[in-house]
Chains A and B, each alone.
Chain A
Amino acid sequence: MSTIAEKKEKVSVPFDYNKYLRPNKLPHIWCPGCGHGIVLKALLRAIDRAGLEKDNICMVSGIGCSSRTPGYVDFNTLHTLHGRAMAFATGVKLAKPELKVIVITGDGDALAIGGNHFIHACRRNIDMTVLVMTNSTYGMTGGQYSPTTPLDAIATTSRYGNIEPPFDACEMARASGATFVARGTAYHTIELERTIHDALVHKGTSIVDVIDACPTYFGRANKYKSATHMMELIEKDGTVNVKQAEKLPPEKLEGKVLRGVLHKVERPEYCEQYENLIMQKAAAKK
């Protein structure tokens, strides 16, 4: 039995983020109030929990604010072109299946310019974990509307209100064949860590849509009082965990976005199929 003092000590030992960071590459480029750093911390804790080795992780990203993440982490890191992260990642994974491939991408990067790669990586069920940091704006270019910007929202390219209906990344992933689909938010950090962990240990394409507000552009343009106000309205009040949702009446779920693991099935993974079927059949055939 541990003493109170021991328990206190256990609780107070902070997680050593520096184990996975490149401290000399900090500070990061993200604005005050941005959730990307919170998501990164949840990811690093999840990686630690999953027991992954730094040498065996390849983190791949596209272009945008969230895609700057690989520069700050001490893995094999590949910052690619706008929209192409999942295509580059497919090459890395197929060439070296022993690597754990993690893709960091934004909603514009993954769902607009990179939409085709997103669909087809899910369809192949190639083993990679993809974090889509959904902030409903193009932050790097100064706040244009994105494929997840809500109707009527103001952006620098939708000054009269957005008339394009938004995408649901999770529905898209599920329809495309991803075998693990989940959603989290930067507000629910403990839950997010658990969700990312489950995604990391899943074999196949795992998609985690992370709702992560942009106070600088989306927030100011749409009259949110502050970054925390924005997090509370969009991430806390705007979402409900999928398990809690089961117990709630339909009227309480109206307008709410579901969090947690939304879809999980087992299906053969692409690289394993390639090795077990194609390579064996090819070897057998003269």
Chain B
Amino acid sequence: MAQKKKRLLQGNEACVEGALYAGCRFYSGYPITPSTEVAEGMSVRLPKVGGKFIQMEDEIGGIAAAIGGSLAGLKSMTATSGPGFSLKQECIGYACIAEVPLVIVDVMRGGPATGYPTGPSQSDIMAAKWGTHGDHPVIAVTPSSVPEILTETVRAFNLAEKYRTPVMVLYDEIVGHMREPLTIPEPGELEVVDREKATCKPEEYFPYDDRHLVAPLAPFGSGYRFHVTGLNHKQDGFPTNDPKVIDRNNRRIIEKVETDKERIWKNEETALDDAEVAIFTIGSTARSARFAVNELRKSGLKVGLLRPLTIWPFPDAAVAELSKRVNAIVVPELNLGQMVHEVERCARGNCEVEALTRVDGEPITPAQIMHAVRKYL
């Protein structure tokens, strides 16, 4: 067998490869730094595989058309950054309540507002969770290398299709724009999940069938004529004012993710077995953290790293367990403290929790992390 060809790809290019591998056939978006290469790549590649690309008139149109594309039966994606992520929030809520599978890539840059378009940031962590109004489920994955952007984009599509919900791929500008060698996996090498198809008679079809946590979704134009709305609705998709039904549905769309979060969580542990101090971080910051752990371990210092690849739902169990066996958890993040609040919540006072923050548009360095960690050793 011929050796597989390695390619040098940019993070955003790997996202395109991941989307196509997962079977994405619809992309709509709007240009914005530092995510634009995703749109550029999709515009070239999608028509080659029979897929559709459209550059919409604005960020809102970018996600709205993608929701339409998904309802018409195509695996759909949009990509954006900071200001565009803010503009997309109402539509994200729509995809949550209407239960439309969708992947939203957010390449995080400095904010608020226009902020620092070409600088890295991890300041959209809470916007990903709470940016759209109302209670809603959120799944967000956080790759920290170019190959991982590919595999996590595939996983994001799988989760979106499985749970009928928008899934975000969050990575900072550094990971999005860096280049690393990558081997594109062969078909079949990675799992690819498709949404459950409707098989019942059209007249018996309910798009939000009560009997399921996640009901099968028929594409528009397949003979299943049904209604989709952003209003609270009954199992047949039509609006309702019935308090019981509203309550049940609002809870169900969250439960479908919460009750299955052990399958959605994905953590990478580095040197945690005997660690006295743990670092908890994501994205490019995790790369600095890994370097810091290696350096400190060389000096015999017991430091480890917990790196979540699923930031939402938050890895409660892993952090709670960790907090019982370390003196402190240090949380470096490219913002003024977002993940740290979640870590504190899960640690329940079992150990010290400290944020290491940076918002000057520069990455957190291994030296900064080593300095922060040493206090607890």
If the complex has contacts A81-B91, A94-B69, A95-B74, are A87 and B219 also in contact, measured as CB distance less than 8 A? Answer: no
| A87-B64 in contact (CB<8A) | yes
Q: Which of A55, A71, A76, A95 has the most CB of B within 10 A?
A: A95
Q: Which of A76, A81, A91, A116 has the most CB of B within 10 A?
A: A91
Task: Tell me the smallest distance from the CB of A203 to a CB of chain B, in Å.
Answer: 18
**In the bound complex, what is the Cα–Cα distance between A251 and B225 (angstroms)?**
51
Task: Tell me the smallest distance from the CB of A283 to a CB of chain B, in Å.
Answer: 6
Say yes or no for B343: interface residue by CB 8 A criterion. no
| A76-B52 in contact (CB<8A) | no
Dominant secondary structure at the A interface:
helix
The contact of B56 among A95, A96, A120, A281, by CB within 8 Å, is A120
The contact of B47 among A79, A91, A92, A278, by CB within 8 Å, is A278
Say yes or no for A99: interface residue by CB 8 A criterion. yes
B50 closest partner in A (C-beta) = A279
If the complex has contacts A58-B221, A274-B52, are A283 and B47 also in contact, measured as CB distance less than 8 A? Answer: yes
Contacts of B65 in A (CB 8 A): 87-88, 90-91, 94
B68 closest partner in A (C-beta) = A91
| A92-B68 in contact (CB<8A) | yes
Interface string of B63-75 (1 = CB under 8 A from A): 0111111111110
Say yes or no for A54: interface residue by CB 8 A criterion. yes
A99 closest partner in B (C-beta) = B221
Say yes or no for A25: interface residue by CB 8 A criterion. yes
The segment from B139-147, B184-192, B227-235, B333-341 that touches chain A is B227-235
B94 closest partner in A (C-beta) = A81
Contacts of A88 in B (CB 8 A): 64-65, 67-68
Say yes or no for B213: interface residue by CB 8 A criterion. no
B230 closest partner in A (C-beta) = A81
Say yes or no for A98: interface residue by CB 8 A criterion. yes
Contacts of A71 in B (CB 8 A): 227, 229, 238-239
**In the bound complex, what is the Cα–Cα distance between A78 and B228 (angstroms)?**
5
| B52-A55 in contact (CB<8A) | no
If the complex has contacts A87-B65, A89-B68, A91-B72, are A79 and B221 also in contact, measured as CB distance less than 8 A? Answer: no
Contacts of A89 in B (CB 8 A): 68
Task: Tell me the smallest distance from the CB of A117 to a CB of chain B, in Å.
Answer: 6
Say yes or no for B44: interface residue by CB 8 A criterion. yes
Contacts of A84 in B (CB 8 A): 60-61, 64, 91
Interface string of A65-86 (1 = CB under 8 A from B): 0000011001111111100100
Contacts of A25 in B (CB 8 A): 238
If the complex has contacts A55-B223, A76-B221, A99-B220, are A90 and B230 also in contact, measured as CB distance less than 8 A? Answer: no
| A74-B68 in contact (CB<8A) | no
B61 closest partner in A (C-beta) = A87
Contacts of A13 in B (CB 8 A): none
Say yes or no for B28: interface residue by CB 8 A criterion. yes
* Segment 10-52 of A: residues with Cβ below 8 Å from B: 25
Say yes or no for B269: interface residue by CB 8 A criterion. no
Interface string of A249-286 (1 = CB under 8 A from B): 00000000000000000000000001000110111010
| B48-A117 in contact (CB<8A) | no
| B58-A116 in contact (CB<8A) | yes
Task: Tell me the smallest distance from the CB of B41 to a CB of chain A, in Å.
Answer: 13
Task: Tell me the smallest distance from the CB of A280 to a CB of chain B, in Å.
Answer: 9
Task: Tell me the smallest distance from the CB of A58 to a CB of chain B, in Å.
Answer: 5
* Segment 28-83 of B: residues with Cβ below 8 Å from A: 28, 44, 47-48, 50, 52-54, 56-58, 60-61, 64-74, 76
Say yes or no for B90: interface residue by CB 8 A criterion. yes
Say yes or no for B226: interface residue by CB 8 A criterion. yes
Contacts of B50 in A (CB 8 A): 279
Q: Which of A55, A56, A78, A119 has the most CB of B within 10 A?
A: A78
Task: List, sorted by A's number, 23 A–B pairs whose CB atoms are closer than 8 Å.
Answer: A55-B223, A58-B220, A60-B68, A71-B227, A75-B225, A77-B226, A78-B227, A78-B228, A79-B230, A80-B67, A81-B94, A81-B230, A84-B91, A88-B65, A88-B67, A90-B54, A91-B26, A91-B64, A95-B25, A95-B70, A274-B47, A283-B47, A285-B48
Q: Can you add 15 more A-B contacts, CB < 8 Å, to A70-B227, A96-B220?
A: A25-B238, A55-B223, A71-B227, A74-B225, A76-B226, A79-B230, A84-B91, A88-B67, A90-B65, A90-B68, A91-B26, A91-B64, A91-B67, A95-B70, A95-B72
CB-CB nearest 9 A-B residue pairs: A91-B68, A91-B65, A95-B72, A87-B64, A282-B47, A120-B57, A87-B61, A79-B229, A95-B69
Residues of chain B having any CB pair with chain A under 8 Å: 25-26, 28, 44, 47-48, 50, 52-54, 56-58, 60-61, 64-74, 76, 90-91, 94, 219-223, 225-231, 238-239
Residues of chain A having any CB pair with chain B under 8 Å: 25, 54-56, 58, 60, 70-71, 74-81, 84, 87-96, 98-99, 116-117, 119-120, 274, 278-279, 281-283, 285
